[in-house]
Structure 1
Amino acid sequence: MIGGLLVASTGWRGIFLINLPVGVAGWITAARLLPGWRPGKEHRLDLWGIALSSLGLTALVFGVQSGEAYNWATVAGPVTIPSILAFGVLCLAVFIWWQHRNTREPLLPLRLFHNRNFSAAATAGGAMGAAMGGLFLPLMIYLQNALGYSPLATGAATVPMFALSSLCARLAGKQSDTASPRMLAALGFALLIAGTGSLVAQLHTGVSLWALMPSLLVSGIGIGLVSAPLASIATRSLETALIGAASGVFNTTRQLGGALGSAATGVLLQADIGNTATSATQAALAFPVAALLVGLACCAVARPTAVTAPAG
């Protein structure tokens, strides 16, 4: 809603201003509240791992996001979108090789993926990020450009959804300590599939936000049920020394999934732009549904984990 207000009052560039107070508040909170604990063991940065992973991910995300803008051809001189994508894949391949060779303190301990629950949760997290990036981009564009709602009204339409999502996330976080996080996450993915699928079915010229609200609320419940249980699945059965790295990798897969998801839906929108806005949006929304199905399948693959008995 704040984003919609900023767009309406300052233009789309104004949305980046919201990062300033959030960043300042985070800096002050970290300085005042985070403990100054230091581990007894001295750590060293994996500089090669940082460089290779950064180059690879940057090239891959740029190539996918900007491919349509450059017509999947030349960017500048001999540099083309296919060559950028190939460079990204090569850097990531060398990064994996280096993580295997680096026996001291690799950026990404590959033994994380020997744990089936972590692998399933990380893949599901990436699918969740891709689905969220792929859901809101075409939907927000459709509400404004095809249905004529203002940026503020479009942003306000998501407030009930995310308020319900926050409430469900809080409850799911508590329940994942005593109930099966795998079942909670699976239920969340199922509700997201139902909510997103019903949105696709309802899109037509003249549809009102009130008609779309039940689907948005169901999706909000699904979002709330997925996040905390997935994190629990990713880390619950790992040895303590790996939990920090696991948390970092898990969150990175979600961010990367979001970037690639928004890029993929943008490509689908462009590919179907010759048809009606409704058909283009429906084609783009097929991607998040497919990503959510991957997340649901990952929940089925994960092993059930032991639950903690409630205190008292």
Structure 2
Amino acid sequence: MFFVNVPIGMLIFALTFLLVPDPHTGRAHRLDLTGVLLSTVALTCVTFALGEGGRYSWNAGIRTLGATGLALAALFLRQQSQRQKSESPSRSYCSPTAASLLAGLVSFCAGLLTVIPRAWPMRRSP
């Protein structure tokens, strides 16, 4: 797991410098409560569905929860792009909240790459 997470963490760290804008733009900073709420609920739904899906035999509720999380993540990304267009049309960059969501999803998926191969034999056993 160490050899998977460290390179991905270094990649995310490097991408942060490229994608996250300098916060010293001269204007007051406002907390994006809608973005925080959407990304938090989306990540919670997807994480719970993927983490506990096996325990609940991937029933309809777990699949619905995962799909809801993905839909909320898509809504979050759409909301962030609309917000970005309305605030500064001359600059195109990834918002810090969107960068955080993407970094969290990439880290979580990298962790899954190490867990799924170990859990798969348990799922297939009779």
**TM-score after normalising by structure 2:** 0.59
Identity rate of aligned residues, in percent? 24
RMSD of Structure 2 on Structure 1 (CA): 3.3
What displacement does 1:90 show? 1.1
List alignment gaps of at least 5 residues for structure 1. Answer: 1-37, 75-79, 114-241, 276-312
1:57 aligns with 2:57: no
Preserved contact between residue 43 and residue 69 of structure 2 (Cα < 8 Å): yes
User: Where does 1:239-278 land on structure 2 (aligned, <5 Å)?
Assistant: 245=96, 249=99, 253-273=102-122
Return the TM-score normalized by structure 1.
0.27
**Rg larger for:** 1
Rounded to whole Å, the distance in 2 between the matches of 1:43 and 1:112 is 16
Whether the 8 Å contact between 2:39 and 2:101 is mirrored in structure 1 is no
With over 3 angstroms needed to count, the CA separation of the structure-2 counterparts of 1:267 and 1:67, relative to structure 1, is farther
CA deviations over 1:58-94 (Å, ceiling 9, x no partner): 11122112211222126xxxxx110111110111111
CA 1:101–1:89 in structure 2 vs 1: closer, same or farther (change >3 Å)? same
Are residues 97 and 64 of structure 1, via their aligned partners in 2, closer, same or farther at CA, if it must alter by over 3 Å?
same
Q: Which runs of 5+ in 2 are unaligned?
A: 1-23
Q: Map residues 64-143 of structure 1 onto 2, 5 A cutoff.
A: 64-73=50-59, 80-102=61-83, 103-104=86-87, 111-112=92-93
Quote the residue 2:33 is aligned against: 47
Question: Hey, what does 2:13 align to over in structure 1?
Answer: none
CA distance in 2, matches of 1:85, 1:271: 19
Pair 1:69–1:54, CA change in 2 (3 A): same
- What does the per-residue CA deviation read over 1:7-62, in whole Å, with 9 as the maximum and x for residues that have no partner? xxxxxxxxxxxxxxxxxxxxxxxxxxxxxxx8742111111111111111111122
AA aligned opposite 2:37:
A
Q: 1:268 & 1:88 partners in 2: Cα distance?
A: 24
Which position in structure 1 is the counterpart of 2:14? none
Q: Counterpart of 1:104 in structure 2: which amino acid? A: E
Q: Which has the higher contact order (CA 8 A, sep 6+)?
A: 2
Asked if 2 retains the 8 angstrom alpha-carbon contact of 1:56 and 1:89, the reply is yes
Misfit runs of 4+, over 6 Å: none
Q: State the aligned residue count.
A: 97
